[in-house]
Amino acid sequence: METASILGVRFDAVTMQQAVDTAMDRLRACRKGYVVTPNPEIVDLCRKDSAYRDIVNRAALVLPDGIGIIYAAKILGEPVSGKVAGVEFAEHLVSAMAKEHMRLFLLGAKPGVAEQAGKNLCAKYPGLVLAGTHDGYFSDPQTAVDAVNACGGADVVFVCLGAPKQEKFMAQYQDALDATLLCGLGGSLDVFAGVAKRAPDIFIKLGLEWFYRLLKQPSRIGRMMTLPKFLLIVIGQRLSGRKGK
């Protein structure tokens, strides 16, 4: 698999279909691992925390979430096959899992959200088995591990705790969890539950989803400043001729 390096973070140059096929192959072979979907905020966290960067780089699949990563890859001349947004990957994976009656556990978001997300996904993708759900506001991570294991395990766990919590959780507990593939997917359960809406298609197509989110939630401005800052750092790397860190 071809990979790109963006400020020290590895990205897999895969299309959506290749990402889903890779995940399904691993599931059928019961090969444990976790999937991460870094956006510029996560790459920025990786620059500041090398232990976190190692966790991200050890993932089975690293998918470029967001237009900022695609711009960065272009600026650096690194190969990527286009955006593979976490929430879209999740839905395609669920669709493929449903055809093989695979088991999905949803972990994360506020109480009630994972249950609603599960109901909606099961209604949309008949054949999917909802192994269980648990909210993301636990004080002891072992509670979440026990919840997954007590329901008889799952093929896939969507771990939606926000970054960097979800990636650290996946790396630390993957061996203890009775599950094959863990996917760190940020606010995806809010989307599946209908609590948060994605931008209209036209914004997504134009690469302006970030702008829509900003209009809807102006308090995100602080987080959003990461994007121009991130691109400036990438341009600086390009000019200095160093692609790595």
Question: How many Å is the Cα radius of gyration of the chain?
Answer: 17
One residue of 17, 51, 137, 197 binding ligand UDP per CB under 6 A = 137
Contact 68, 230 (CB under 8 A): yes
Q: Is 202 buried (19+), middle (13-18) or exposed (0-12) by CB count in 10 A? A: exposed
- When binding is defined by CB under 6 A, the residue of 72, 187, 192, 210 that contacts ligand UDP is 187
The DSSP call for residue 77 is: T
For position 216 contacting ligand UDP by CB under 6 A, the verdict is no
Find the binder of ligand UDP among 38, 64, 68, 108 (CB under 6 A): 108
**Contact residue for ligand UDP among 128, 154, 157, 163 (CB under 6 A):** 163
- The reply to whether 189 sits near ligand UDP by the rule CB under 6 A is yes
Give the three-class secondary structure for 98: helix
109 lies in the site for ligand UDP, by CB under 6 A: yes
Please report, for residues 66, 141, 146, the alpha-carbon distance to residue 176 in angstroms, rounded to integers and kept in the order given: 31, 11, 9
Q: Is 136 in the site for ligand UDP (CB under 6 A)?
A: yes
Q: Residue 159 and residue 120: Cα distance in Å, rounded?
A: 17
Residue number with the smallest Cβ distance to ligand UDP: 136
Q: Which is nearer to ligand UDP, 162 or 207 (CB)?
A: 162
Q: Pick one of 145, 159, 160, 234: the residue that binds ligand UDP (CB under 6 A).
A: 160
Nearest distance, CB of residue 85 and ligand UDP, angstroms: 10
The nearer residue to ligand UDP, 195 or 235, going by C-beta atoms, is 195
97/178 Cα distance (integer angstroms): 17
Angstrom distance (rounded) from CA 56 to CA 126: 32
Strand pairing category for 3-6 and 9-12? antiparallel
The distance from CA 12 to its chain's CA centroid, rounded to whole angstroms, is: 13
Measured from the CB atom, the residue of 194 and 236 that comes closer to ligand UDP is 194
DSSP state, residue 197: P
Binding residues with ligand UDP: total (CB under 6 A): 14
Query: Per rule CB under 6 A, is residue 167 in the interface with ligand UDP?
Result: no
Beta bridge partners of 90: none
Residue 184 is a binding residue for ligand UDP (CB under 6 A): no
Measured from the CB of residue 184, what is the shortest distance to ligand UDP in angstroms? 9
Which residues of this chain interact with ligand UDP, rule CB under 6 A? Answer: 108-110, 136-137, 160-163, 165, 186-187, 189-190
